[in-house]
Amino acid sequence: MEKKVGRFEKIYFPELNLKVDSKIDTGAYSVSLHVEDITEIDGKLHFWVGEKSNKFIYDDFNIINVKSSFGKKQKRYSINLKMVMGDFYFNALVSLTDRKKMKFPCLIGRRFLYKHGFLVDVRKKNLHDRNKKM
């Protein structure tokens, strides 16, 4: 049986206590998440999620190069996070960026889909939403 995702899925990040609507984007390479006020202070990464009520500090992070669909290169911070999608649990490298002007605070890219064996059914939405009535 093939594992499928819809074009949108609800993702829970337990370490951030954050549940977000996510867009499945095969044009994107990796997973990216909206955070605000990202700063690096004394070798630690500081950022806010949600309604600016939750500040997080990480000392284990990477800086990666990301190329947009327009070819523009950008440096981004990335961290390893646990992700929950329905009954599936994952560890994923998540790039942190300001997506407040975007409709979805999270993108799930093709590297994640390939690594975990998912196919995208563009006719469906939220196949793994635990709150969805069957």
What are the pLDDT digits (tens) for 65-114?
887 767 788 889 999 999 999 888 999 999 998 888 888 989 999 999 99
> In angstroms, rounded to a whole number, what is the distance separating the alpha carbons of residues 44 and 97?
16
User: 73-85 and 18-24 as β-strands: parallel, antiparallel, unpaired?
Assistant: unpaired
> In angstroms, rounded to a whole number, what is the distance separating the alpha carbons of residues 69 and 54?
31
pLDDT at residue 49 is higher than 90: no
